Structure 1
Amino acid sequence: MPSWSKLDFCRFSADWAGQDCPCKTEFDKNEEKIENNGFSDGIRVHEIEGVVEEMGNLGINENAANSVPKGSRIPLPWELLQPVLRILGHCLLAPLNSEDVKDAASVAARCLYARASHDLVPQAILATRSLIQLDKRAREAAKAEYLADGDYKCGSSPD
């Protein structure tokens, strides 16, 4: 599948998800909010206030100046969303895809996560959240590999 087709598909998926919402960026700032509860298995716990705040963030916020209605909300049935998420997963994680395709797929996954959160569809929330986490970890691994290669090329030991 050519890159331009993947880019178009990712843009279509983001548009299908609906209007922009601030909750699609919650994964960018979520790391400092999470606390470990002290158990050895690393279970993470949120305070009650944090949960209440997160539930308040699920409301749809529209910027009056920037928001232009794109029409009615299109339903996101699981039968159609599941293959879309598989294709987005390929766009995010395939090693030969360009960064433009990976970035567009990341935006689409975040938009679909925001929409699934608003619609309260557990399967879609779990699937999109997993895609976002996989994307974050793949980018962190690529960055670490790049930095390690840069250190090795600069003359330091590969220890």
Structure 2
Amino acid sequence: SDSSSSHDSPPSTAIAGDSVTTVANDSAQSDSNAKCQTAIQTLASIVTTTDIPSTISLLLDDDAVYAAISCLLLRPDSGAGDNNLCRWLYDTFQSAEPSLQLLVLRFVPLIAGLYLSRVPLRQPQAGFEAVLLALYAHETTSRAGQAITVNIPDLSHPSIYHESKGPTKNNSTCLNIAVISSTLDPHGTVRSTRRARIVGVALELYYSKISRMPRESKLNFCESCEKWAGQNGETEQSRAVIPTLSDDSWRDEENVALGGRSERDSGRIPLPWELVQPILRILGHCLMGLKVEDREVSEAANKACQSLYLRSLHDINPKA
């Protein structure tokens, strides 16, 4: 009969395609859950001072876990190559799971701050370098090594909405292209000539997800900027005061002259453009916080900007 023949007919292509898609989605979700559970279980064996949530969504919002991981990173030997936490951060980011990568990115300001400040101390930091190289390699692959550019309008060209009295220029040959981030070459190690670029790219990746970053992470970044500037809370007003023989500033200058590092300059690092550019973008975001809960971040960013401003004045004229 017609009814029996309709039941015996094979399923349509659309239904079969939907079934395949559903199976593929279920498989991908299962794989994602497995990666998250593995990362959570491994983290629980490293962080023993607080309970680790059972799901990645809860872990991303857990302030206690963030504080516990930060304490481990602040230990003097935290950046060593055999450090379990650095290994976990590296493996977790390499999982290519977006939620896990987002978790690792939250600690980029702290890792970058500790790493760059410890470089003059010549401590082994293979663990930190592995994490930073993983971030750099991820960005290099996602961008195919290409530069990020923008076209800047040229006011010498006539507007398309107005009549031009002069000869029309060919816009295709007169583009003003600004490079936001230069091309990326693959690097397997961190050398002194590449250090600023590798850390800068990690900060660029952090900035691309900054709307998902917690308050503590942004505060860590602002604190790192103050240390990198080497001003130790010095303000423009206090800088204008002429020191007397009893001021500590004279003692600081003497320590620097003798080859030591003053307390004010503790953590001070070179600030090439590869670092300054992403730093200013992140601070710009932090300064624009309008919510009440963002006020602390905005104030910290303001202090960081003041320190960097004074540092720039010193770099332009060291005797100023």
Name the TM-score class by shorter chain.
0.3 to 0.5
TM-score, length-normalised on structure 1? 0.46
TM-score, length-normalised on structure 2? 0.24
Report which structure shows greater RCO (CA 8 Å, sep ≥6): 1
CA radius of gyration, larger in: 2
